Amino acid sequence: MESSLEFSNSFTSVSSPSARCRIFKIIVIGDSGVGKTCLTYRFCAGEFLDRTEATIGVDFRERLVEVEGEKIKLQLWDTAGQERFRKSMVQQYYRNVHAVLFIYDVTRPDSFRGLPAWIEECRRFLVGNKSDLRDTCSCDPRSIKVEGQVTRDQAQKFAVAHGMILFETSAKSLPGGGGGGGGEPGGGHQDSVEDVFMALASRLKRQTRPPPPVLNNTGVSGSYCGSYTGTSSFRLPAKKNPQKDFWTCTC
Ligand SMILES: Nc1nc2c(ncn2[C@@H]2O[C@H](COP(=O)(O)OP(=O)(O)OP(=O)(O)O)[C@@H](O)[C@H]2O)c(=O)[nH]1
């Protein structure tokens, strides 16, 4: 598979073509191979990608959802996890977003220990992915060091210490908990991908101002979208200046 997913329209959550909505920009970061592409694709296209290639630069996916009666567009910026992109690409996109999803792989403690290197000042959500692989040996072949697993307790402590909200999920598991090992010794818990992003949308909705009552004739302005575009994803040009398109982080 190409690392950039071209215009997939297979999953639609809100179908009104004239819906007006707020847009929340969310950057998704974490070490290479933790499943950033799979998670965002799963949420936007509704499918699990078994075979992926490393993301080069940043890919962009979006989905329109409805939260408590309000239409909200989540724009997900799937960044390259490879070290060489960390400074050049990610930092450009990092500050001017509404939220950051920090992803780690529950079967790769190195990806968990690497998190402080990714953390900066913004609203923080911590996501442990591949929870379907808990207590199995079939870790991803891209996991170089396998030395146990990141327990939910460990992650929860980290989340509290860094003011983050923890989710543990699987891009692979079927909605409702099927499709994977799931579960953790001592009372496992797994959030669905849907729950992760909907909780994020809901929190962002509460923390930002609602849209103004009347739109001007130009239709689209600021951080509101004027029309429904379905779900799409495409490759951003690597050298694009993100500052022009971004709204300031509200945290
Ligand atoms: N079992 C399992 N495998 C997963 C899951 N999510 C992703 N994978 C696998 O993990 C591998 C890496 O996934 P990607 O989504 O490409 O990882 P990434 O974080 O985007 O990697 P970079 O683009 O290099 O930063 C792929 O082989 C996926 O199929 C999951 O929830 N469960």
CA dist., res. 74 & res. 52, Å (int): 22
User: So what's the pLDDT on residue 116?
Assistant: 76
Cβ–ligand 1 contact at 40 (below 6 Å): no
Identify the H or E element spanning 36.
helix 36-45
Q: Report the residue among 31, 37, 118 best suited for mutation to probe ligand 1: largest number of ligand atoms under 8 A from its CB.
A: 37
Mean pLDDT of 25-38: 93
Q: Report the residue among 140, 173, 193 best suited for mutation to probe ligand 1: largest number of ligand atoms under 8 A from its CB.
A: 140
Length, in residues, of the chain: 251
Q: Which residues pair with 232 in a beta bridge?
A: 62
User: So what's the pLDDT on residue 120?
Assistant: 55
User: So what's the pLDDT on residue 177?
Assistant: 53
CA dist., res. 31 & res. 24, Å (int): 23
11-32 burial, b for 16+ CB within 10 Å, e for fewer? eebbeeeebbbbbbbbbbbbbb
The rounded Cα 28 to chain-centroid distance in angstroms is 5
Cβ–ligand 1 contact at 128 (below 6 Å): no
* 151-160 pLDDT tens trace: 999 999 998 8
Closest ligand 1 atom to residue 80 Cα is 25
User: So what's the pLDDT on residue 115?
Assistant: 82
Cβ–ligand 1 contact at 38 (below 6 Å): yes
End-to-end CA distance of the chain: 36
Cβ–ligand 1 contact at 36 (below 6 Å): yes
Closest ligand 1 atom to residue 169 Cα is 31
CA dist., res. 245 & res. 251, Å (int): 18
Per DSSP (E only), the strands in the chain are 21-29, 58-67, 70-79, 99-105, 124-129, 165-168, 224-225, 232-235
Closest CA to 122 of 54, 26, 206: 26
Whether the predicted interface score ipTM is above 0.90 = yes
CA dist., res. 48 & res. 42, Å (int): 5
- For the ranges 94-108, 124-138, 185-199, the maximum mean pLDDT occurs at 94-108
Quote the ligand 1 centre to 28 CA distance (angstroms): 13
Average pLDDT, the chain: 72
Pairing of strands 99-105, 58-67: unpaired
More confident residue, 33 or 228: 33
Mean pLDDT of 27-50: 94
Cβ–ligand 1 contact at 170 (below 6 Å): yes
DSSP symbols for 129-184: E-GGGTT-S---TT-----S---HHHHHHHHHHTT-EEEE--SSSPTTS-SS----
* 158-207 pLDDT tens trace: 988 887 889 999 999 866 654 333 333 333 578 889 999 998 888 777 76
